[in-house]
Amino acid sequence: MKTKIYADRIRAAAAFIRKKIPDCRPDVAFILGSGLAKAVPALERPRVIAYDDIPGFPRATVPGHAGKLILGRAYGKNVAVMQGRFHYYEGHSMESVALPVRALERLGLKTLIVTAAVGSMRPKIRPGHFTVLADHINMMGRNPLRAFHEKEFGVMFPDMTQVYDRRLSRLILAACRKRGIAAHSGVYLAVGGPSYETPAEIKAFRALGGDVVGMSVVPEVVPARQMGVAVGALAWTSNMAAGLPGSIQNHADVLALGDRVADDLRGVLGDLIKAV
């Protein structure tokens, strides 16, 4: 895909959303990860657009990802919720995975909070626990900014010293702890997937400094930071990673546990709308 065609697709997606919802100007957006479809925060006058209807949006194919864009208001703010995401391992290009975030930024987005299911590489981070991401290591084999640059996207070489906004991270951690949810701060290691990692890979990733491992997040947050959007990320532990005691690698189990943590996350996201 040529850069001009890509930029035109972003504009078309944003224009379609604005035509459907003329007052769409999201102050904050959430991306809900695997198993978290029920974590949509309470919104006034929610309006829903199916991803399949939005030009340029990829098709969501992974179980547990509803494939809907929900827009509404809460605590005096305009809120967008992506109920499900796209993944590099589905065969989508990195730029396609980033397209919805770029379209929302074109509509005025300033703050993005990403959620994801992760495997824990540390014994203290147990299934059901949450981790606020402090940094990440990209082992996906590609950078989402590669080969696609327009001046409207931001600088070609964005600074990644502080990908995850410190103030947002403090707010997320405080919101979890206020609700009595076990929450940690840690480093996310991103892999391409879709196979789960081997024990040897997890051993190597731990040595590199990773705390949790997953197959998303990076293709969304790096373009968001390039565009100047403040980013926070909250991951929930669906399983212990390969080679660790209690390790189970099964997507059905991810979805089942996601149903149980969705209510907690829904409350946290509501608190964050108010706080940001």
Catalytic annotation present for 89: yes
Of residues 215, 227, 230, 240, which has the active-site annotation?
A: 215
Give the dihedral sign, CA 17/20/22/25. Answer: negative
Of residues 12, 15, 66, 89, which has the active-site annotation?
A: 89
Of residues 13, 37, 98, 117, which has the active-site annotation?
A: 117
What six digits make up the tokens of 101? 């975030």
User: Is residue 223 reached through a cis peptide bond, with omega within 30 degrees of 0 on the bond before it?
Assistant: no
The Cα 76–Cα 30 span in angstroms is: 16
Catalytic annotation present for 120: no
Of residues 51, 80, 87, 93, which has the active-site annotation?
A: 87
- Percent with pLDDT over 90 in the chain: 82
Side-chain-side CA neighbours of 261 within 13 Å: the count stands at 31
In this predicted structure, what is the pLDDT of residue 59?
A: 80
The Cα 74–Cα 80 span in angstroms is: 10
In this predicted structure, what is the pLDDT of residue 262?
A: 87
> How many structural domains comprise the chain?
1
What residues make up the domain containing 162?
Answer: 3-275
CATH number at residue 267: 3.40.50.1580
Catalytic annotation present for 92: no
What six digits make up the tokens of 103? 């379209």
In this predicted structure, what is the pLDDT of residue 35?
A: 77
Residue type, 179: R
244, 123 in Cβ contact below 8 A?
A: yes
Catalytic annotation present for 188: no
Catalytic annotation present for 195: no
pTM for this predicted structure = 0.94
Catalytic annotation present for 215: yes
Digit-coded pLDDT (tens) for 214-223: 999 999 999 9
Digit-coded pLDDT (tens) for 203-261: 999 999 999 999 999 999 999 999 999 999 999 999 999 999 988 777 676 666 667 78
In this predicted structure, what is the pLDDT of residue 64?
A: 61
Of residues 80, 216, 235, 241, which has the active-site annotation?
A: 216
Digit-coded pLDDT (tens) for 52-88: 999 999 887 776 667 999 999 999 999 999 999 999 9
Digit-coded pLDDT (tens) for 124-149: 999 999 999 999 999 999 999 998 88
Catalytic annotation present for 251: yes
